[in-house]
A and B are shown apart, each in its own frame.
Chain A
Amino acid sequence: MSGSAPSTTWRDWLLSDRPQSATQARLGQAWLSWRAFRRNRLAMLGLGLILLLLIVAALAPWISPYEPNVQNLRLRLQPPSAAHWLGTDELGRDILSRIIHGSRITLYIVTLVVVIAAPLGLLIGTVSGYFGGWIDAVLMRVTDIFLAFPRLILALAFVAALGPGIENAVIAIAITAWPTYARVARAETLTLRRSDFIAAARIQGTGSLRIIGRHIMPLCLPSVIVRITLDMAGIILTAAGLGFLGLGAQPPAPEWGAMISTGRAYLLDQWWVATMPGIAICLVSLGFNLLGDGLRDLLDPKRRGG
């Protein structure tokens, strides 16, 4: 080795023992994490499914072969064919196009639920864990009440009270989703609140709310994020369940659960009407679960195998 040849490939640059800058070292670490993640075949499959969902949802108007809501009663209940890859439903609408457009609704629900439930759970959990005492007791009993009901039942009750529709379904699911995040965040906060760096922040004169927001929440985020990814499948299933019962998205919106519900009537003779959206729900839930498992293994050093 002459030592004069500079590292030529980007991989050598990333894995260099003597990084020239902090950025290079950080990128190198990210690359190593990515390699560990890539070894996990199932997690990669999950990631692939979720990426596919994102791409399909982003490009829905351009890749769907037909308009999702245009009816053609002459072509109703056609089996899968070259013209309609996944067949048509009882109003002659192309099922593939409806599933493609339905991915947007699914993503919309999941995203909104997470945006509402995660900060709420994080806030309640960290406040509860940090202050302890009666604040903790009150907040955790409220959490217990929410956890005591099966999620779908509770969501049903809320939608029934609020009225059917996507927005109300989102609110109902969010209301039922936050307690688990609060639990996770509280557990994490309990291990952190007696730590020296929190004491140091208090010595600096930092107030309690600022300590929670700036010093504790960022440390709780990783476990809450993993919890969320694992929860996504449950959220999708709850949303589909509400749609199936007619309490979520309203017709003619191509929501997957609602599609299964209408296909139910033809299940024996025209199986594809209900089965195709069912497969879509199944694949997306599976994707989120596999991705969540992979992320947990990656972010939790205790589970990292040798």
Chain B
Amino acid sequence: MTPPLLQVKNLRVAFRGERGEVPAVRGVSFSLGREKLGIVGESGSGKSTIGRAILRLLPESARITAQRLAFEGQELLELPPQAMRNLRGQRITMIMQDPRFSLNPVLRIGDQIAETLRVHGVGGRGSELRQRVLEVLSAVQIRDPERVYRAYPHELSGGMGQRAMIAMMLISDPALLIADEPTSALDVTVRREILAIMDRLVSDRGTGLILISHDLNLVAGFCDRVLILYAGRVVEEIEASRLQECRHPYSRGLLASLPLLERPREQLATLQRDPAWLEGPVYRFGQEVRE
């Protein structure tokens, strides 16, 4: 049996602060093959921290420990910086939330996309490089790649910017793509398009995807499997198609707080949080487990 693409066992991240260490992620375990995994949770539940911990892009005040954090069998936390840099961009990439902030305002889009290939010395140079960038721009359904190639970020709309971001992160054919709230900053009408583009590219290339989001519906519709995160802990892991059968009180509470068109309610349910969730049992595929 080949090892899974990504294996995470008992991942813990804590930030050193003035008042001692603040835990952000407490003992998260999951594994990922060539599939689409959704990580859902409220703000501050540690979902983005998990993504950045995998890429080792957290600030120095963060202390990352894990029994196992392995990508294609390599222990990420033990890799020297140079090897880590070779993984970033080539094997693991990440799409960030807001294209207005994640594209350098003084570099042309084409140069920014080509940067990945240039840094790693792959993809040739000159016209060959340019050709590859234009191809990937067409792949994310940009109609006039020549114009976008020469454009600066402020000359693009949010949706175009996010497509450029996707192009930037997929040009090197990574094995694992982490998408950190890729559509939160976009208009509702553009969201679907962006997700569809991402879905098609990821499925075509057999890329493993981690989709981080706070939008339960979006994740349920898009992913194969869902992790529900509460205060840095996975409280429930379940197939997306069986999300309605989830058992943890937090997941049930999240589902209950969604407005439904078929059953309009005067007041939406609010979550009652239970401190015992920090230690209590968690559910994997409907089975109660103690961790």
Q: Evaluate contact between A205 and B88: CB separation under 8 angstroms.
A: yes
Contacts of B104 in A (CB 8 A): 197-198, 200-201, 215, 219
Chain A residues numbered 189-238 whose CB sits less than 8 Å from any CB in chain B: 194-207, 210, 214-215, 218-219
Give the distance in Å from the alpha carbon of A22 to the alpha carbon of B149 in the complex. 13
Q: Evaluate contact between B102 and A219: CB separation under 8 angstroms.
A: no
Which of A203, A204, A206, A207 has the largest count of B CB atoms less than 10 A from its CB?
A: A204
The answer to whether B280 has its CB under 8 Å from any CB of chain A is no
CB < 8 Å: which of A198, A199, A205 contacts B85? A205
Q: Evaluate contact between A200 and B155: CB separation under 8 angstroms.
A: no
Decide yes or no: A197 and B101 within 8 Å by CB, A203-B169, A205-B119, A210-B119 being known contacts: yes
Query: Which B residue's beta carbon lies closest to that of A221?
Result: B106
Q: Evaluate contact between B102 and A200: CB separation under 8 angstroms.
A: yes
A27 to chain B, nearest CB (A): 15
Give the distance in Å from the alpha carbon of A201 to the alpha carbon of B96 in the complex. 11
Contacts of B105 in A (CB 8 A): 197, 219
CB < 8 Å: which of A194, A198, A203 contacts B88? A203
Q: Evaluate contact between B98 and A204: CB separation under 8 angstroms.
A: no
Decide yes or no: A203 and B89 within 8 Å by CB, A22-B155, A218-B106, A219-B106 being known contacts: yes
The answer to whether B49 has its CB under 8 Å from any CB of chain A is no
Contacts of B86 in A (CB 8 A): 205
CB < 8 Å: which of A200, A202, A205, A206 contacts B103? A200
The answer to whether B116 has its CB under 8 Å from any CB of chain A is yes
Size of interface on A: residues with Cβ below 8 Å to B: 21
SS of B interface (majority): mixed
Q: Evaluate contact between A196 and B116: CB separation under 8 angstroms.
A: no
Q: Evaluate contact between B115 and A203: CB separation under 8 angstroms.
A: no
CB < 8 Å: which of A195, A196, A201 contacts B115? A201
The answer to whether B168 has its CB under 8 Å from any CB of chain A is yes
Give the distance in Å from the alpha carbon of A87 to the alpha carbon of B96 in the complex. 70
Q: Evaluate contact between A204 and B93: CB separation under 8 angstroms.
A: yes
Decide yes or no: A204 and B89 within 8 Å by CB, A22-B155, A199-B96, A215-B107 being known contacts: yes
Decide yes or no: A206 and B101 within 8 Å by CB, A22-B150, A199-B96, A200-B168 being known contacts: no
Interface string of A61-76 (1 = CB under 8 A from B): 0000000000000000
Give the distance in Å from the alpha carbon of A219 to the alpha carbon of B106 in the complex. 7
Give the distance in Å from the alpha carbon of A222 to the alpha carbon of B103 in the complex. 19
Decide yes or no: A195 and B116 within 8 Å by CB, A203-B93, A204-B88, A218-B106 being known contacts: no
Q: Evaluate contact between A196 and B101: CB separation under 8 angstroms.
A: yes
The answer to whether B165 has its CB under 8 Å from any CB of chain A is yes
Decide yes or no: A202 and B168 within 8 Å by CB, A215-B107, A218-B106 being known contacts: no
Give the distance in Å from the alpha carbon of A205 to the alpha carbon of B88 in the complex. 5
The answer to whether B251 has its CB under 8 Å from any CB of chain A is no
Contacts of A200 in B (CB 8 A): 96, 102-104, 165, 168
The 4 closest A-B pairs by CB, nearest first: A205-B89, A196-B101, A204-B89, A196-B102
Known: A22-B150, A200-B102. 13 other contacts (CB 8 A): A194-B59, A197-B101, A197-B102, A197-B103, A199-B57, A200-B104, A202-B57, A204-B119, A205-B116, A206-B89, A206-B119, A207-B119, A219-B105
